[in-house]
Structure 1
Amino acid sequence: MPGWALALPIALLTLIPVAAVIGAALSPQPEVWDHLIRHVLPRVTANTALLMLLVGLGVLCVGVPLAWLTALCVFPGQRFFAWALMLPLAFPAYVLAFVQMGLFEFAGPVQSRLRDWFGSSAWFPEIRGSLWGTVLVLTMAFYPYVYLLTRNAFVTQGRRALEAARMLGESAPRAFWRVSVPMARPWIVGGLALAWMETLADFGAVAVFNYDTFTTALYKAWFDLHNLGAAAQLAALLVLLVLVMAAAEQRSQRGRSYQVASSHCQPIVLRGWHRWVAFGACALVFAASFAIPIVQLVLWSLSTWREELEPRYWDFARNTVLLAVGTAFIATTLSLVLAGVRRRHADRITAWVVRLAVIGYAVPGVVLAVGVFIPIAWLDNLLIAWLRPLGFEGFQILKGSVATMLLALSARFLAVAYHASDSAMQRITRSQEETARTLGLGSWGLLRRLYLPLLRGGLLTAFLMVMVDVMKEMPITLMTRSFGWDTLAVRVFQLTTESMWENAAVPALAIVAVGLLPVVLIFQRAERIQGA
C-alpha cells in the first residue's frame, strides 16, 4: 500500500473540519454577508490587523535584544535570565490577561494605591476594552517564541563574523544590527510567525479585555446570535488569513541561504553602566511577564482556595485530566504512525499528505471548533433520523460528546506530537534496522524490540507536550463541550467573564504549574544543543 494511503485517514482528521469551513464560504448566505460587511468585518478586521502589527513589533523589540544579551553578553544575572525569560511560556495568554486586568482596573491595587497617593486615578488609562492592555499582555505572552529561536541562532553563529566586523571598526551595537540580526533572520522570522499565529488564534485574552477580533466575533456569532452560518463565514476568513501568512513566510525564505558556524561566539563582557542596563531590561521583562503575575495568583489563591476547592472543582480537574490524557494518547499514537510512514515512504505525495495532517496547529482553535461541529451536527442529525423509530428523537448523540472534543483537540495538537516523534524516529539509523532484520526480526519484532525502546523518550515528550497544551487550551473545549461539562480552563473563562479575578486564581495556578513542564524540557534541550 502506498504511503499516502496510510497517512490520508489521519490527515482527514484535520482536512474535514477545514473543508467544512471552506465549503461554508463557497456557499455564502447573502443576508449573512450583508450583516457581516455592514456591522462586523470593518471593525474586527481593523482591530485584528492593528493588534497583529503592534504585537509583532512588541515581540521583536523585546525578544531579539534579550536573546542577544543572554546569548552573547556577560552581565549580572545573565545565566539566570537565560532560562527564566522562557518561563512565560507556562502562562496561557488568558491567565496573564485576567491578572493584568485585576491589577490595573479601577478597583485593582494599582489604581487604589494611586488614589491613596494622589487623591484620584481618573487620569489612569482605561484597561477594559483597551488596545494598549491587550498588546502588552500578548507581547509578554508571546515574546518567548522570538526569544527562544533567536537566542539559539545567536549562540550558534560563531565568532568569526562578529570578530571581522569589530576589526573593521564596528562597535558592538552596530555589529549587532549589521551582522548578528541579518544572520539570525530565519529564526527571527520563524519566531515572529509563531507569535502572529498565536495572536490571530487568541480568544481568551481578547475576550478578557473585551477587545473584538475575528475570534471573539466568531464566538459571539455562534453563541450569542445563534448563527452558525455567520460563524462559519468568519471561520473561513480566518483560514484564508492563516494560509496567506503561511505562504508569505515560506516565500520570504525562498532563495536565501544561511550558514551556522560550529564554533560558539566569544562572549562580550559588559562593563560599567551597560551591565546594569542589561540587568534592568531583563529584570523588568521577567517581572512583568512572570514574577508579578505568579505572585499575584498565589496571593489571590491564598484568600480564595477554601471556597474554590468545592466538590465541583474536582470534577473540573477530572474532566481536564480526562481530555488531556485522552488527546495525548490519540495524538501520540497517530504521530508514531505518521513518523513511521514518512520514514518508509520518501515520495513527494506522502510528504505532502503528512504535512496536511499536521496543519491543525496553524488553524485557530475557534475555527477547528466550527469545522468539527458542522460535520458532527450533520452526522448527528442523520443518526437521529435513523434512530427516531426507536424512540431516540430529541437526543444528541455526538454533539457535545467527549469523543467530539477528543477529535477536535487531536486535530489541533497532532503537530506537537508529530515533531517530537519524528525527531526521535530520525535518530534510528538504517544500519540499526538492517542489523535487526539480519537477526530475523519481522515488522512486529522491529516495532517491539527496536523502535519502541529507542522511541520511548521521544514518545514520552510528545505525550507530555500534548497533555500540557490540552490542559491550557480553552476555545475548542468551550465551544464543543456539552452544557455543564467544564474544565479548569473553562472555569477560568466563566469566572473572568464575571470579573471574579481572585476566584479564577486557583484553577489558573493549577494550569500554570502544569505548564512549567514543557518549559523545563525546552530549556534542557537548549542546554544540550549549546553544550554539543
Structure 2
Amino acid sequence: MLFRRLRQTLFLLLTLAFMLPVLAVFSSWLPGGDSNGVAAQILREMRSTVLPDYLWTTLRLCVTVAVGVIVVGLTAAAAVTLFDFPGRKLFEWALLLPMAIPAYVVAYAYTDFLQFAGPFQTLIRDVFGLEGRVFPEVRSEGGAALVFIFALYPYVYLLARTALGERASQLMEAARLLGAPMRRRILEVALPLARPAVAAGTALALMETLADFGVSSYFGIQTFTAGIYKAWLSMDNRIAAAQLATLLLAFVALLLFLEHRAEKRMRFSATRGTRAGSLDARPLRLHGRAKWLAWWVCSAPIVMGFVLPVLFMLRPLVADWSVLSWGPFLGWTLNSLRLGALSAVLAVALALVLAFNLRRRSDWTTRWTVQLVSLGYAVPGAVIVVGLLLPVGWLQSVAPQSGVGYVMTATSLGLVWAYLVRFCAVALQSVQSGYARIPLSFDDSARMLGTGDMALLRRVHWPLLKRSTAAATLLVFVDVMKELPATLVLRPFNSDTLAVVAYQLARDERLGEAALPSLALVLVGLIPVVMLSRTLRAPAH
C-alpha cells in the first residue's frame, strides 16, 4: 500500500513537472496576472503594429513550407519506391542526410556563400563586370522557406516512403494487370494511399518550422517565435511573452491534432492493404529521359539540403585555418557533451519508469502522465522557456531570498528541466516500441515464478530493451546537442554550447568561425541518420 502511494505521488510530481510550462503560459490570462496593465498595453500596441505581421508571416511561411516539403518529399519517395533506376539504393538512404543538419546551420552556410560580399556574387561581378546585387537576398522570407523545405522534407519522405513501400507497389501491380496506365496508377492508387503519411509528415515539418528560432532570428523574419523572445527580452515583460506563447501553442495544438488524425488513418490503411501482399510487385524499370528525371528528382534535395551546406562551411576552413579556435572549441564541445549526456540518461530513465509502470499497472495516473510526456516534443522551445521562467520570476518576487532564480538560471537545472520536457517524448517513444516487441506472456511467466517488479525489470525486460534504450539515449543526446532556443536563454554563464556559439558567431557576421561548431553539429547529427537508414532500409525486391 505504501509503495503504491509513493508511486502515485511520484507520477503526480512528474505530471506537474511536465505540465508546469504549459500551465504557467496559460495562467498569464488569469485575472491579476497583469496587475499594472503593462502587458495589456504592450499587446494592444503590438496588435496595432507588429502582431498582424507576425500572424501573416508565420502563415505564409507555413503554407510555403508545407507545399515545398510535400512536393520534394513525396516525389522523392515515389521515385525510390515505385521505380528502378541507377543509384536508387544509394538515394534511399542518402535522402535522409539533410536530417543531420539543423535548419539554422543550413541558413548560415547559404548566407556565407550567397550574400552580397560572398564568393558567388563576387565571382559573378568580376567575370561579367557587373555592379550591384546579382542574386536575390538570401535573408528573406523566401530564403527561409527554402531553407526549411530542404532541411525538413525528410519527414514527408520517410513516412511516404514507408507507406508506399508497404502497400502501393502491390496495388499498383494489381492495377497494371487490370490495364490501368502508369499515370492513372500513380494518381489514383499510389498517391491516395500515401496521403495520410504525407499529412503526418507535413504536420511534423510545420511543428519544427513554428518552433524554430535560429533561422527566423538570423534572417530577421517576424514570426511568432521571434515575437515571443522580443516581448520577453527587448520589452522585458514576461506576461506579454506568455500570452503570445498561447497563440503559438494554438497553432501547435492544431498541427498535433492533424498529425494524430493522420496517424490513425495510416494504421487503418495499413490494415486494409495487407491482402494485396501476395502479388509479386517490382519497381518499374526506367529508361531514357525518365531515368535521368528520376535521378535529378532524388539528387537535387540531397545537394541542396546536405552537400552544398557542408561544402560552403568547409570553404572558409580550408581557405584560412587560422579562424579555428581549438581551445574554446574544446570547451564548447565538452559543455554540449555534458548537457547532452546528462539529459539523455535522465530522459531514458524517466521513459523506462513510465513505460514499465504503464505496462504493469495502466491506471489513470500513469496513462495521463505518459500522454503529457508524449506531447512534450510538440511544445516549442520558446514556450518552454517562458513557461519555466514565468513561475520562477513570480517566486523570486515573492521570496527574494529563496535563490530560485539563481538555481534555475545560474546552474544547469533549468536547462536540463527544459530538455526533459522537450525531449523525454523521444525516449519514451523508443522505449515503448521496444516494449511492444516483448510478449506479455514473459511477464506472466515471471509472476508465476514469484518475480517482483524490480527483478522483472532488471532480469527480463532490461536485456530485451538494451537496443531500444541505446537508440533512445542517442536520439535524445543528438536533439539536445542541436537545441537552440531554450539553451540560448537558460544556459549558465560561461557555459556556451556548440549550437549557441554557432548562432552567436553567425549573428556577428563571423561566419567563417561559425563553420567549425556547425560542422561538429552535423557530424553528431549523422549518427542517428545512419542508424535510421539501416533500420528502415527497403527490402530487396
2:58 corresponds to which of 23, 45, 48:
48
Q: Can you list the C-alpha shifts for 1:198-228, whole angstroms capped at 9, x where unaligned?
A: 1111111122211111111112222222222
- 1:449 aligns to 2:459 (yes or no): yes
Query: Does the CA contact (< 8 Å) of 2:58 and 2:224 recur in 1?
Result: yes
TM-score, length-normalised on structure 1? 0.93
Stretch of structure 1 that moved more, 338-347 or 298-307 = 298-307
- 1:469 aligns to 2:479 (yes or no): yes
Q: CA shift at 1:309, angstroms?
A: 2.4
Stretch of structure 1 that moved more, 52-61 or 494-503 = 494-503
Query: Does the CA contact (< 8 Å) of 1:335 and 1:421 recur in 2?
Result: yes
> Paired residue for 1:10?
14
1:376 corresponds to which of 381, 387, 392:
392
> Paired residue for 1:131?
141
- 1:296 aligns to 2:315 (yes or no): no
1:434 corresponds to which of 428, 439, 444:
444
Letter of the aligned partner of 1:314 in structure 2? L
1:112 corresponds to which of 109, 116, 122:
122
Matches within 5 A, 1:63-462: 63-120=73-130, 122=132, 124-157=134-167, 159-250=169-260, 257-258=268-269, 259-261=272-274, 262=277, 265-347=281-363, 350-381=366-397, 384-386=400-402, 396-462=406-472
CA, structure 1 residues 128+222, in 2 after alignment: closer, same or farther (shift >3 Å)?
Answer: farther
Q: Can you list the C-alpha shifts for 1:377-414, whole angstroms capped at 9, x where unaligned?
A: 33445554357xxxxxx982333420110000111001
Query: Does the CA contact (< 8 Å) of 2:114 and 2:135 recur in 1?
Result: no
> Paired residue for 1:19?
23
Provide the rounded CA distance (Å) in 2 between the counterparts of 1:54 and 1:140.
Answer: 12
Q: CA shift at 1:6, angstroms?
A: 5.1
Provide the rounded CA distance (Å) in 1 between the counterparts of 2:103 and 2:327.
Answer: 27
CA, structure 1 residues 222+30, in 2 after alignment: closer, same or farther (shift >3 Å)?
Answer: closer
Provide the rounded CA distance (Å) in 2 between the counterparts of 1:160 and 1:503.
Answer: 52
1:32 corresponds to which of 20, 25, 42:
42
Q: CA shift at 1:36, angstroms?
A: 1.9
> Paired residue for 1:391?
none
Q: CA shift at 1:421, angstroms?
A: 0.7
Q: Can you list the C-alpha shifts for 1:332-366, whole angstroms capped at 9, x where unaligned?
A: 11111111122123356643331112211101111
Matches within 5 A, 1:499-514: 499-514=509-524
**Alignment partner of 2:50: what SS?**
helix
Stretch of structure 1 that moved more, 351-360 or 3-12 = 3-12
Provide the rounded CA distance (Å) in 2 between the counterparts of 1:328 and 1:250.
Answer: 26
Matches within 5 A, 1:506-525: 506-525=516-535
CA, structure 1 residues 438+252, in 2 after alignment: closer, same or farther (shift >3 Å)?
Answer: closer
Q: CA shift at 1:323, angstroms?
A: 0.8
Name stretches of at least 5 consecutive residues in structure 2 with no aligned partner: none
Provide the rounded CA distance (Å) in 2 between the counterparts of 1:451 and 1:194.
Answer: 31
Q: CA shift at 1:289, angstroms?
A: 0.9
Provide the rounded CA distance (Å) in 1 between the counterparts of 2:478 and 2:169.
Answer: 38
Provide the rounded CA distance (Å) in 2 between the counterparts of 1:255 and 1:84.
Answer: 28
CA RMSD between the two structures: 2.3
Q: Can you list the C-alpha shifts for 1:266-324, whole angstroms capped at 9, x where unaligned?
A: 21101111001111221222111111111222222334554432422222111111110
Provide the rounded CA distance (Å) in 2 between the counterparts of 1:465 and 1:87.
Answer: 15
Query: Does the CA contact (< 8 Å) of 2:112 and 2:312 recur in 1?
Result: no
Name stretches of at least 5 consecutive residues in structure 1 with no aligned partner: 388-393
Q: How many residues align?
A: 525
